[in-house]
Amino acid sequence: MTYFSRLTDIVTCNLTKLLAEADDPAAALQEIIAEMDAGMAGARRSMQTAQRNEDRIRGEVEEHSAQITHWAGKAKEHLVAGVEGQARLALVRKREVEDLVAGLEQQLVAAEQTREHLSTTFRALEARLAEARRRQQGGADGEESSATDTGAESNSAVSSEIDDELAALKRELGQS
């Protein structure tokens, strides 16, 4: 039986309900975890593709921005040489490249948003998978499990954020 048709199904699933409806909850949980693992692999590939697209577009913006400087310099050179027609053509090319860069910058913003959305979805998938694994190991409430179950140690930024949040909670509770 397939439990999930989309990654959002994994994020929004109610494991308790799925397992309560299953004839063999242990087997169902094992199948759910296998589907989640496959979903994570696909999400990881999508995230990597999005990052490569973002990097490629950023590189194009940088390359074309250098061309803007080049054409502005050419226009100045032609004016100094007294060739106004060539200066005008250089400025036309500069304007074309500026328009191209403006379009690429919009694509870059969209690529950044896509990458961030995929990263957020990936972290949500990690959380659901960690919950399922905790249940499989017998910790239904999951509070006893370590931070490594959620993959927090594999991401130093997340780990740092967790440390900061923990420190803030300790201050709030008057602990050192």
Q: What is the pTM of this model?
A: 0.70
Radius of gyration of the chain measured on its C-alpha atoms: 26
Give the whole-angstrom CA distance, residue 26 versus residue 32.
10
pLDDT the model gives residue 52:
98
Domain range annotation of the chain = 7-72+103-145
Q: How many CB atoms lie within 10 A of CB 104?
A: 20
Nearest alpha carbon to residue 43 among 71, 78, 10, 90: 10
Q: How many CB atoms lie within 10 A of CB 101?
A: 19
The values of phi and psi at residue 24, to 5°, are: -125, 90
pLDDT the model gives residue 138:
84
Q: Calculate the alpha carbon distances from 99 to 61, 87, 158, 170 in Å.
A: 11, 18, 38, 52
pLDDT the model gives residue 167:
86
Q: If phi over 0 gives left and psi between -120 and 50 gives alpha, with beta otherwise, what is residue 172? A: alpha
Instruction: Identify the segments of the chain with pLDDT beneath 50.
Output: 140-154
pLDDT the model gives residue 146:
42
